[in-house]
């Protein structure tokens, strides 16, 4: 549920996302509570972004990953849209 909501929000922020994949590993050091390691990969047409986070509550881990992922992906998108989709190297040739 948390992952679905996070992926929907990311697709709103960065519409070029092709695939979002999450891998959750749990480690139990003893008979106490489990420690979760979550790694998320976001695939776009040109790049692959990887994020990882660890914690004792899986819902809190996904909640803490959301703002980081949105911030990094939206800053990347703003750089692309500010140039109209043309990279700075290509813009030099259009004079």
Structural domain boundaries in the chain? 2-92
Structure confidence at residue 24 as a pLDDT band (50, 70, 90): very high
- Output the pLDDT for position 28: 82
Residue 62 pLDDT exceeds 60: yes
- CA dist., res. 47 & res. 79, Å (int): 15
**Integer distance in angstroms from the first to the last C-alpha of the chain?**
50
For 2-92, the fitting CATH number among 3.30.160.100, 3.40.50.1110, 2.60.120.10, 3.40.50.12140 is 3.30.160.100
User: For the whole model, what pTM was predicted?
Assistant: 0.69
């Amino acid at each position: 549920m948390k992952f679905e909501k996070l992926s929907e929000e990311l697709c709103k922020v960065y519409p070029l996302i092709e695939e979002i994949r999450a891998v959750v590993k749990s480690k139990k050091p003893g008979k106490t509570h489990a420690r979760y390691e979550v790694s998320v990969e976001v695939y776009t047409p040109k790049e692959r972004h990887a994020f990882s986070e660890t914690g004792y509550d899986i819902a809190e881990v996904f909640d803490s990953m959301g703002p980081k992922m949105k911030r990094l992906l939206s800053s990347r998108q703003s750089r692309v849209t500010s140039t109209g989709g043309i990279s700075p190297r290509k813009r030099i040739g259009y004079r």
